[in-house]
Amino acid sequence: MSIFLERLRWLNALHSSGLGPFVESDLTSLEIRYLAQKYDLPVRSGETLAKWEKLGADAGPQLLPDFAARGGKGQVRGQPQVEELIAQAVVMARAGKIPLTTQAIKEKLETMVNTARVETGVPLDFPSDSTIRRRWMSQATPYEKAVAKVGKKKADRMFRPAGARARVTEPGLVYEFDDTDTKVFCVDDRTKLPWGRPWLTLGVDQHSAMPTGLSMDTIPLSSQSAVSALVHSIEVKDVEYLNSSGGGNGIKYMWEVSGYPTQAVFDNAVQNSLRVVSLNANVADASWARPYWPTDKREVEYKNGRLVTWLCKQPGFRGVRGDVDAIKEGLATATLSIDQLRQGILRWLLGVDANQPGKDGLTSRQRYLEYGRALKLARQIPPDTRRLRMLRMLALPKPVTWNRYGIRILGGLTYQDADLFTRYINRPGGDMKVNVRIDPEDLSSIYVIVPDSELVLVVDCCVPDYVEGLTLYGQKLILKLCREKKKQNPSIIDLWAARMELQTMTEQWVADKKVVLRKRAAAIKQSIALKKQKKEEEYAASRLETACTELDAVTLDQEDERWQLPIAD
């Protein structure tokens, strides 16, 4: 009300001084100061006074505080009887007898007003929708307003009791992990095959918000990827290649975090039952954030939100949610290699975000290094790195058979080591059920766990040229292409042919003739331009087929000892 009175006093002072309808140019600073001193008013600018004059006497909503609650211009306040009925209807709505919405209260109020008209014989005016809404909104709590706006289920999540949240007082104790969709389609520059759409699992130190480690997977909500990020956080990491590759603008890239934390906070527990990995207490005490509780891992949630602002500028970006054509466009412009994406993320995390001052004026790197314990952790080499490496491997869901022909998994790939088989597995019957772990980023070898022991054997693939640099996602794409060609049990020749066909398709994506795609490819300087296949690689499938044909032509007598040699399935 004091502001309203000030406006009226200023307008009366200006009008009494001979200024009728005026504009800003009619006022001078000297006149404004003179009137302010004469009528004891605060000094206002000419622009403000001209704005008040332009509103005029008819601009009640702008000049009068709570104008809408006063009945409006030329109107009167609501009748006392009607106001009582509105209050009764609002009480009923807040008690849960009717929905707490304007429409529900209006329908109930119609019945109450009509009944009151008959009982009292007094003509009662029915209030407007805006009046009803103002009355119940003025009494409702924020929770009740949220229920009316978004529904009870979502309002319960918004207004749930959080309680006291314990925070660590120094770095290196608690790491937070969460995954985010990069929405970027990538190409593997080693195999020249599509890598897929990476889901980045990032680890962040809870106290300092310093990045601790990361992992990428093609599957969202992957517990295995979260454990891989934890292992990467514990390991001592070397990013000297980022400093030596140039383009750093004088920035020194360095991981500050290494060593075992006391606790690791993961995103919601058990999203994918096939990828659940049990952590040994000697690694870290695992805890899980509650569903829809981002405050349980606030630092990593905030870090992922900032990372998205960088990801949306990368080639092959999927686009905004809801655009059905964006996925096809992103896949068709997948000109960014997975190594480039990983290096770009590391440059942003370690060179930009880690050196960005926060609210306290310190960067996340400074907050981490201000404690002597953090400096000690940074130089600590984690013990038993082999066990850490096994944690990040993906375990097959059930045991597989290892016989004299090898271990056949992943749609036709055979792994065998004759010496290891003879030493550890060979027995009457010639086979044994073993548990196998694989590295999703490298299928060149598998890790076989010998039953009833802690011995782990590394067994190489029988076709090293085919699996060189091949990832699990790439193998799945090759098998999918084979199935489309009606080859449910593809041979190694079929796998070779499908892989080469996928390489050709990827090359066509990079060298597309569309102007938009050429511009995007030029923007990254054709950094993953596909090299022409070597002659021996180009005809690898043909040579293998010829060798198999020659072997089939060999005939042996049944008494020949060479019958004991392994033969193809």
Per-residue pLDDT tens digits of the chain, which is 569 residues long: 566 678 778 888 888 887 777 777 778 888 888 888 888 888 888 888 888 777 764 555 555 555 555 554 445 567 888 888 888 999 998 888 888 888 899 998 988 888 888 888 888 888 888 888 888 888 888 888 888 888 888 888 777 665 555 677 788 888 999 999 888 878 888 888 888 788 999 999 998 899 999 999 888 888 778 888 888 888 888 777 776 665 555 677 888 888 888 888 888 655 444 444 455 546 777 777 777 777 778 889 999 989 988 888 777 677 666 666 666 666 566 567 888 888 889 989 998 888 888 888 888 888 888 875 555 554 555 556 777 778 778 888 889 998 888 899 888 899 998 888 888 876 666 788 888 999 888 899 999 988 877 788 899 999 999 988 888 888 888 998 888 888 888 888 888 888 888 888 777 766 654 544 444 444 443 443 434 444 444 445 455 455 545 544 444 444 444 444 443 33
Residue 421 lies in a domain: no
Is the domain of 33 the same as that of 102? no
The structure tokens listed for 541 are 């499938």
- DSSP code string of 257-309: --S--SEEEESSS-S-GGG--PPPTTT-EEEEPPTT-GGGGHHHHHHHHHHHH
Q: Are 439 and 396 in contact (CB under 8 A)?
A: no
Let me know if 19 is exposed, middle or buried by CB neighbors in 10 A (0-12, 13-18, 19+): middle
102 assigned to some structural domain: yes
Whether residue 425 lies inside any domain: the answer is: no
Q: Is residue 222 part of a domain?
A: yes
Position 565, amino acid:
L
Contacts (Cβ under 8 Å, ≥6 apart) of 242: 248, 253, 343, 346, 347, 350
Distance between CA 486 and CA 464 in Å, rounded?
A: 26
Beta-bridge partners for 437: 395, 447
The structural domain count of the chain equals 3
Residue 48 lies in a domain: yes
Q: Which of 340, 403, 401 is nearest to 186 (CA)?
A: 340
Look at residues 28, 148, 21 and name the one whose alpha carbon lies nearest to residue 90: 148
DSSP string, 435-447: EEEEETTEEEEEE
**14 is a domain residue:** yes
- Give yes or no: residues 147 and 282 share one domain: no
Q: Do 49 and 89 share a structural domain?
A: no
User: Do 377 and 326 share a structural domain?
Assistant: yes
Structure tokens belonging to residue 127: 């209030």
Per the structure block, which two tokens stand in for 419?
């010496």
Q: Which helix (H) or strand (E) holds 201?
A: strand 199-205
* Structure tokens belonging to residue 507: 């090359």
Give the pLDDT confidence score for residue 200 in this predicted structure.
92
Query: Which residues in 189-236 belong to E strands, given as ranges?
Result: 193-196, 199-205, 211-217
pLDDT given for residue 415 in this prediction: 93
Among 90, 123, 158, where does a domain finish? 158
pLDDT at 537: 46
Do 183 and 242 fall into the same domain?
A: yes
Same domain, 217 and 359: yes
User: 17 is in which domain, residue-wise?
Assistant: 2-61
Both 146 and 206 in one domain: the answer is no
Q: Are 382 and 429 in contact (CB under 8 A)?
A: no
- State the pLDDT at residue 21: 75
pLDDT attached to residue 569: 36
The amino acid sitting at 498 is A
Question: 362 and 240: one domain?
Answer: yes
- Are residues 256 and 109 located together in one domain of the fold? no
Backbone angles phi and psi of 207, in degrees to 5: -75, -45
> How far is Cα 547 from Cα 558, in angstroms, rounded to an integer?
23
**Sheet strands (E) in 394-529:** 394-395, 400-403, 407-409, 413-415, 431-439, 442-449, 456-460
- 57 and 85 share one domain: no
Residue 425 is predicted with a pLDDT of 75
Same domain, 206 and 350: yes
Supply the CATH number for residue 206's domain. Answer: 3.30.420
Distance separating the N- and C-terminal Cα atoms of the chain: 92
Sign of CA dihedral 134, 135, 139, 141: negative
In a domain, 381, yes or no: yes
CB half-sphere exposure, 373, CA atoms < 13 A? 9
The two structure tokens encoding residue 144: 């009740």
Cα separation, 70 vs 64, whole angstroms: 9
